[in-house]
């Protein structure tokens, strides 16, 4: 049971300062070679590119603007414009994956209708992703603690859109923390969707701290992930419970090694 790990610089290595470039240096010094960030909007892309080159790190994934409400067709033109810019910047930074959040749901429209509208928006940017060599990842996030009102609250929501779009460029980001917090059973959910999974992210629950800080049985979870045939990177997207990120991640690094 061996997995390579990536670290999300938005959550970790805060002890290195506010700049993502400085956190990247700290992550590289700690032995991590894959990093993830949120949106590149309003960020110094050339500076990030230089930091990636200097540290030898790979930007594994980035994220588009999560504030766009994809169930609103009136926002689709803005979405396409934003996606084109985000995709170009992701490609400039060497990323091969980009997360597209669903945005909020609306209370006056049936869920299948909402998912259909989102699928239409996602399908419209597949050619852009293809032109940049990007895989679009759809990520369900929990509505109970972190993202109340979001449309992709359950794994099945994102899967429904992926199946409607029906493109190898659109795949699933399965975040185990969000799944457990939404009271899904990973042992039931993950085997059903493993063929669609592009990336898996992890954090402990409750609390979204580093693995080992909560109640999740991590040896069992890693065996589950291995059993479904996943051979990709495990993305650490957690908030360390102590001041030393590298020390906080020692437990999961030992398990994953």
Confidence of residue 67 (pLDDT cuts 50, 70, 90): confident
pLDDT confidence tier of residue 1, bands split at 50, 70 and 90 = low
For residue 44, the domain's CATH number is: 3.20.20.150
Please compute the mean of the pLDDT values over residues 229-243 and round it to a whole number: 97
Mean pLDDT of 179-183: 98
Mean pLDDT of 29-47: 97
- Residue 196's Cβ-count burial label (10 Å; 0-12, 13-18, 19+) is middle
Burial class, 49, CB count within 10 angstroms (exposed 0-12 / middle 13-18 / buried 19+)? middle
Percent of the chain with pLDDT over 70: 100
Query: 187: domain range?
Result: 5-256
pLDDT at 17 over 90: yes
What per-residue confidence (pLDDT) applies to 66?
A: 83
What pLDDT digit, counting tens, does each position of 112-171 carry? 999 999 999 999 999 999 999 999 999 999 999 999 999 999 999 999 999 999 999 999
- At 47 the three-state DSSP class reads helix
Total count of domains within the chain: 1
d(CA 137, CA 96): 10
């Amino acid at each position: 049971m061996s997995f390579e790990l990536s670290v999300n610089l938005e959550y970790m290595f805060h002890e290195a300062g506010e700049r993502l470039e400085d956190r990247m240096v700290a992550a590289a010094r700690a032995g991590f070679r894959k990093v993830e960030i949120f949106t590149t909007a309003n960020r110094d892309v050339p500076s990030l590119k230089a930091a990636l080159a200097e540290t030898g790190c790979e930007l594994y994934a980035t994220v588009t603007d999560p504030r766009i409400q994809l169930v609103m067709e009136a926002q689709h033109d803005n979405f396409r414009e934003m996606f084109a810019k985000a995709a170009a910047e992701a490609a400039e930074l060497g990323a091969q994956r980009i997360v597209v959040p669903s945005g909020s749901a609306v209370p006056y429209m049936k869920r299948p209708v909402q998912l259909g509208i989102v699928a239409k928006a996602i399908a419209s940017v597949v050619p852009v992703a293809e032109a940049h060599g990007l895989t679009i990842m759809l990520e369900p996030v929990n509505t109970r603690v972190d993202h109340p009102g979001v449309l992709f609250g359950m794994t099945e929501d994102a899967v429904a859109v992926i199946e409607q779009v029906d493109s190898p460029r659109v795949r699933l980001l399965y975040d185990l923390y969000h799944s457990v917090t939404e009271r899904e059973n990973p042992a039931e959910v993950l085997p059903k969707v493993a063929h669609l999974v592009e990336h898996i992210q992890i954090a402990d629950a409750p609390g979204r701290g580093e693995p080992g800080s909560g109640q999740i049985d991590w040896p069992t979870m890693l065996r589950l992930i291995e059993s479904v045939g996943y051979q990709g990177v495990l993305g650490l997207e957690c908030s360390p419970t102590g001041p030393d990120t590298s020390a906080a991640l020692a437990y999961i690094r030992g398990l994953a090694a």
